Amino acid sequence: MNIGETAELGSHVQTLDVERIRADFPILSQQVRGKPLAYFDNAATSQKPQVVIDVLSQYYQRQNANIHRGVHWLSQLATEAYERSRAVVQHFLNARESREIIFVRGATEGINLVAQSYGRDKIQSGDEILITSMEHHSNIVPWQILCEQTGAVLRVAPMNSAGELILSEYRALLGPKTKLVAVTHLSNALGTINPVHQIIDEAHSVGALVLVDGAQSVPHLHVDVQELDADFFVFSGHKIFGPTGIGILYGKGEILEAMPPYQGGGEMISSVSFTKTTYNTIPFRFEAGTPNIAGAIGLGAAIEYVNSLGIEKIAEYESELLAFGTDVLTQFPEVRIIGTAAKKASVISFVVDNVHPHDVGTILDQEGIAIRTGHHCAEPVMDFYDIPATARVSLAFYNTEDEINRLALGIEKVLKVFS
C-alpha cells in the first residue's frame, strides 16, 4: 500500500478549523514514547478542552461550597452555577423543562436508576423487557438484574452481519407483554446508528416505554428528546469532553414524578420524621446527598463548548473523517472491518489476520497512537462475530486525516512484525 496516496482519497470539505480546535486541548500537544499523540480512544473517554479544565479549577478555587442548603454567598454562587448547567443540558437535549434533567454519575447509573426505580415499581412477573444484541453491558446487566428481581423476561432483538438491527425481528418481538425497550442510539463497538425514532414509535404503539442509551451519540449527533419522543435518555459527561463521574438521565416529567426514589438521604426529601418521610419534587428526588457539583458545572462548560462549534458541523466533519479512515483501512487485504452498517458514526472496529487485537494496540502505542482493544464491554457482539476482541478506532472532531495516515503506517508495521 502506498501511504502517500491516502491523503488524496476523496474530496473533503473542511467544515471546522481543526488546528485551532486542537490548540484548545492541552493533552493533544504532548508526545507519547517520543511520537506526537494521536488519540483514537474517544468512545472510551474524550479529551477535555482548556475551558472545561479552567471551570473545574475556578470552582474549587473560588466557588467551592455545598449547594441548595446554604444561605451564604458561596453556596448561592455554587447553586447558581450547578442549576445553570442543568439548564444548559435541558436546551442541549431540547427537554421541555429543566426538572426533567437528573444529574447522575454517568449513563450506567442513569440506566440503573430507571431499572431500580421505574422497573421495580412497574415491571411484574411475566412482563417483557426488550433490548438489542448490540448493547453495551451497562444496557444489559441492569435489566438482567431487574428480571431476576421481578420475574420479568429479557428479550433480545437480533442484528445482521453488517451490525444493523433487523427491524422486522424487533417488530415481531413487540407485544402486549413488552413494558420497556432499552436501545443504544449509537453502538460503541460497531458505530451503528440505530433508527431510534422508528424504534420508539413502534414501542409506543404497544404501550411500552423506551430508554435510549445516548452515551456514544451525543458527542456526534444532534439529539432532540421531544422530537424522538424518548421516555428516558442517558449519557455520560466524560464522552462529551466533560469530567468523569457525571452524567445525565432525562425522563419525561410525568413519568419521573410517578417514580419512587432510587436512593435515600439528604436533598431528596421534603420532610423527615421517625414515623414518615415525604419526598422532594423532581429532579431533587433523584439526587440524594452531595452531588458531583464541580462535575456538573464542568459538563455544562463542555456542552457550551460543543455548542460553540456546532453539532451539525461536528457531524459533517466526523462523517468525512470516518469515510476517509474506512477507505484507508480497507486498502489492507489483511484488515477486516467489523460493523459495516449503512448508517454509522465515529467508530471503526477491525481485526487483522492472524494478529490479536492486543498486539495491534501495543505496536500502535509504540508509534504514539492510542486505540482501544478488547470486547469494549460488548461481549455478545464479539460472540456474534465469533471473535475474541477488536481493535477500535473511535474519532472526535480534533482528529485529522494526517493522524489516520499515521495509523495506516502503524498497521504496516504490525503486518511487518507478524509477517
Q: Tell me what the mean pLDDT of segment 387-402 comes to.
A: 98
Residue with cell 512484525: 417
Cell of 209: 416505554
Q: pLDDT tens-digit profile of 147-185?
A: 999 999 999 999 999 999 999 999 999 999 999 999 999
Mean pLDDT rounded to a whole number for the chain? 95
Could you please report the per-residue DSSP string of 208-264? -EEEEE-TTTTTTS---HHHHT-SEEEEEGGGGTS-SS-EEEEE-HHHHHTSPPSS-
Question: pLDDT value at position 10?
Answer: 37
The DSSP code for 60 is I
Q: Tell me what the mean pLDDT of segment 24-32 comes to.
A: 97
Kindly list the strands in the beta sheet with 335-338, ordered across the sheet, starting from the edge strand earlier in the chain.
Answer: 335-338, 347-352, 390-394, 372-374
Question: pLDDT value at position 69?
Answer: 81
Residue 4 clears pLDDT 50, i.e. is over it:
no
Question: pLDDT value at position 386?
Answer: 97
Residue 112 clears pLDDT 80, i.e. is over it:
yes
Q: Tell me what the mean pLDDT of segment 200-209 comes to.
A: 98
Question: pLDDT value at position 404?
Answer: 98
CB 393, CB 345: distance < 8 Å: no
Question: pLDDT value at position 253?
Answer: 98
Residue 12 clears pLDDT 70, i.e. is over it:
no
Q: Is the pTM of this model over 0.85?
A: yes
With CA atoms as reference, report the closest residue to 242 among 334, 153, 306: 306
Q: Tell me what the mean pLDDT of segment 17-34 comes to.
A: 96
Going by pLDDT thresholds of 50, 70 and 90, the confidence category of residue 2 is: very low
* 147 given a catalytic annotation: no
CATH 3.30.70.20 fits domain 52-308: no
User: What residue ranges of the chain are covered by domains with CATH 3.90.1150.10?
Assistant: 3-32+310-417
Q: Assign residue 377 a region: left if phi > 0, alpha if psi is -120 to 50, beta otherwise?
A: left
With CA atoms as reference, report the closest residue to 59 among 287, 243, 304, 239: 243
User: What residue ranges of the chain are covered by domains with CATH 3.40.640.10?
Assistant: 52-308
Question: pLDDT value at position 395?
Answer: 98
Annotated active-site residue in 156, 377, 387, 409: 377
Q: Give the Cα separation of 236 and 249 in Å (integer).
A: 9
Cell of 340: 459495516
The torsion angles phi and psi of 250, rounded to 5 degrees, stand at: -95, 140
- Residue 365: CB atoms within 10 A of its CB come to 16
Q: Please tell me the CATH superfamily of domain 3-32+310-417, with its number.
A: Aspartate Aminotransferase, domain 1 (3.90.1150.10)
Question: pLDDT value at position 271?
Answer: 87
- Residue 166: CB atoms within 10 A of its CB come to 14
Tell me, what amino acid is at 265?
G
Share of the chain above pLDDT 90, in %: 92
Q: Tell me what the mean pLDDT of segment 104-130 comes to.
A: 97
Going by pLDDT thresholds of 50, 70 and 90, the confidence category of residue 312 is: very high
